[in-house]
Structure 1
Amino acid sequence: MNLQKKAVFFDVDDTMYDHLHPTRDALRTVLGLSEHFPYEEAYHRIRYYSDLLSAKGGLLEGKAGANELDDMREGRFILALQEFGVDLTREQAVQVQQEYLDRQYRIESFEGATSLIDELSSAGYVVGLITNGLEEHQMSKIKAMTLENHVAAEHIFVSGTVGYAKPDPRIFEVVNERTGTLPEHCCYIGDSWRNDVAGAIAANWQVIWFNHRNATPESDVAGVYKTAASYAELRRLLLPDAH
């Protein structure tokens, strides 16, 4: 086992593709919200409630049933949109969730994402994905972007199957164990401050915050991280000698 090998792992939602698009389209289709509605601000609150409700129910670790999962998915829309003066009925939330799911499987990766993965692989890096969610749902997104053609199956880690979810550092420890890598030789890239930056730093990984939405840090972290807002910037950070 070569513990000296270097690795780069990516988050999926809002890191490999624009997670706002399916959310915004679902809200506009079902609720008829105007183009002036603050979709990006609402998106951040939907993500907040998704994480909050999932953590309470152990959903991301695969510890809850279908009913609890449905309650979380619908509840995040209801709670988030209330903050923007939009009151959803449970029936409307069900419709929004269905529209959102339909669009989740018609997504495309960010420009430069797959080419960067291929370049890193060619340069000798172990390259993979670490994502929160249930196996079937997350793998459907990964296949929609054809990422399985660029990332080895054994380097794809989904929290619902692993049994730990970001920001729990144990999911990163499992990745190290299964890939034969050391934390200090691994870099994690993700958009979520709480799940990705704080989680990976707690596991002693190097971190690049993929902050393409110009968010602000949500808390202090006991570690150093770099920031990038595009895949061109990520490439310059990860492969500075590439031409």
Structure 2
Amino acid sequence: MPVSIISLDLDNTLWHAEPTLIAAEKAMLGWLQDFSPDVLVRARERGWSHYRKQTLAENPELVHRVSELRLKALQLLMLDCGLSQDASKQAAQGAFDCFWSARQNVSLFPETRTVLDQLKREFSLISITNGNADVEHIGLNDYFIYSLRAEEIGIGKPDPAIFQHALAQINAQPESCIHVGDHIIDDIQGAAEFGIKTIWFNWQNQSQNVDVQPDRIITELRELPQAIASLAD
């Protein structure tokens, strides 16, 4: 079966995620400082991870619903600071909205749009991410016929079910798809287990510490069209 679908991870595949996430966290903390210095002090005293871990322990079903997890953790922080239920929900939403807006302010790799333009001329593109980046707000929506965030279905990579779900939405078979991503387990192992060909974008020179073998490995995004061409026949 000829390849007609290219599936793409987002964070650390089309842009470097860490600077964006750091900036988004900083923006959220700035919002908390403006809202109430006491809330920020409490968050720093106990550690933001404390509220996230407690929320996840009480709501394990949120492990792949990262936006809802953050929102509930923020509500827990507000309650811990003595706010009422209603006030906690309102404040948590404000802090989350600040984070989410900054989280969409990504800096694409220099080759991203050029590569997407080239691929779109030959293939149908979809995106699959475990994060809460939104291709519409980022300005990439026109490239994709379908985009899936793990939090929408509560299933995340490397579970093959997320790849199965995505392809089912566009009536495609795994044999017609190539998945591209930076994470050897989440992207490469997960897709391979569902029978999808894989290209590992190893731009961070990670060690290959699992048995799964990518079909192709690239270290620069500009190499992607040629790697796809070598697999698509």
Q: Same fold by TM (over 0.5)?
A: yes
Deviation digits for residues 31-71 of structure 1 (CA, Å, limit 9, x no counterpart): xxxxxxxxxxxxxxxxxxx9xx9799333543995468638
Q: Which residue of 2 aligns with 1:92?
A: none
Deviation at 1:120, TM superposition (A): 1.8
Which secondary structure does the structure 2 equivalent of 1:58 belong to?
helix
Aligned residues: 186
Separation of aligned partners in 2, 1:120 and 1:181: 18
Answer yes or no: is 1:138 the counterpart of 2:133. yes
Is contact 1:114-1:150 (8 Å) kept? Answer: no
Q: Which has the larger radius of gyration?
A: 2
User: Please, what TM-score do these two structures have when normalized by structure 2?
Assistant: 0.65
Deviation at 1:145, TM superposition (A): 3.0
- Distance 1:212-1:69 versus aligned 2 partners, 3 A rule: farther
**Structure 2 gap ranges (5+):** 30-51, 78-95
User: Which one of the candidate residues 219, 223, 226 is aligned to 1:229?
Assistant: 219
**Structure 1 gap ranges (5+):** 31-49, 75-96
Separation of aligned partners in 2, 1:54 and 1:167: 19
Deviation at 1:204, TM superposition (A): 1.1
Deviation at 1:218, TM superposition (A): 2.9
Answer yes or no: is 1:57 the counterpart of 2:60. yes
Answer yes or no: is 1:202 the counterpart of 2:193. yes
Deviation at 1:156, TM superposition (A): 0.5
Give the CA RMSD over aligned residues. Answer: 3.5
- Distance 1:149-1:219 versus aligned 2 partners, 3 A rule: same
Return the letter of the residue paired with 2:222: A
- Distance 1:62-1:25 versus aligned 2 partners, 3 A rule: closer
Deviation at 1:219, TM superposition (A): 1.8
User: Please, what TM-score do these two structures have when normalized by structure 1?
Assistant: 0.63
Deviation at 1:180, TM superposition (A): 1.8
Deviation at 1:176, TM superposition (A): 2.1
Answer yes or no: is 1:22 the counterpart of 2:20. yes
Return the letter of the residue paired with 2:61: G
